[in-house]
Amino acid sequence: MWWRVASVDADTKRWRQSNADWLTARRKQVWHLGEDEGWGEAERKLRYDNLCVATKTGQPYEEWAKGHDTTTGAEKQAPSGGSSRARAVENCKKYLGVNEDPPNSNRGSEIDKWNQRVAGYVGAPWCASFVTCMAWDAGAKGSSSAAVQYIVNMAKAGSGMFRGWTTDPGSVLRGDLAIISCSSCHVEMVIDSDDAYDTIGGNTSPGSEGSQYDGGCVAHRQRNGEVYGWALVDYP
């Protein structure tokens, strides 16, 4: 599957499945395109390969990508490096499934470390401490905060580890921070430069059930329609 099934709701699953079904059917059409006109194997395969490249799928695309620059336009224009952003995302993925211990305590062996580094004490709500540590451990420099509102303020001022603030999803890269619901509610890290709503967050729930802003675990989420804005992180 090309999506993480557990990360989306039923409507989104159906929408993505319909896209996948359309793409499969279209690839079959292209594969057989021209048969009635006497096209040979080479011509049909060329069209199939071109479709794979256009949709970034399959072995033809993988072979093509080896000799081409596949960096997105946003990443080419970004003032900070892609490799650090990739590390920040991998840092987040490494902690998927971490839970508070005991439940509803804002405590845990890893959680305490994140809060001590950012908040200076343990037992605080930790979504901002989590994403800050993930960025710092990928090389981001400068201050941040355990308070979501302070992160928003710093991003708007271009201070600390932040290079700016935006409400335009097209200006967001992986490793930037999505502010969820309101300016002080919750923060998560964007993990896909092509989807500013694809995030991993701490102190949330793995699905729509449970608290989204005090859920007690690290989880992968899809935040369509929930994002207040994005704090843009300055990576080396």
CB of 43 closer than 8 Å to CB of 162: no
Read off the tokens for 15. 């929408």
In percent, the amount of the chain with pLDDT more than 90 equals 61
Question: Given a cut of 50, is residue 78 above it in pLDDT?
Answer: no
For 141-198, the pLDDT digits (tens) are 999 999 999 999 999 999 999 999 999 999 999 999 999 999 999 999 999 999 999 9
Whose tokens are 């580890």? That residue is 161
d(CA 121, CA 88): 23
Question: Given a cut of 70, is residue 77 above it in pLDDT?
Answer: no
Mean pLDDT lowest for which of 14-23, 55-64, 169-178, 189-198?
14-23
d(CA 143, CA 184): 18
Largest CA distance in the chain: 74
Higher model confidence: residue 199 or residue 31?
199
What DSSP string runs through 108-163?
-HHHHHHHHHHTSSSSS--HHHHHHHHHHTTT--S---SSHHHHHHHHHHT-TTEE
In percent, the amount of the chain with pLDDT more than 70 equals 67
Q: 18 Cβ partners below 8 Å, 6+ apart?
A: none
CB of 127 closer than 8 Å to CB of 186: yes
d(CA 208, CA 50): 39
In this structure, the number of other CB atoms found within 10 A of the CB of residue 157 comes to 11
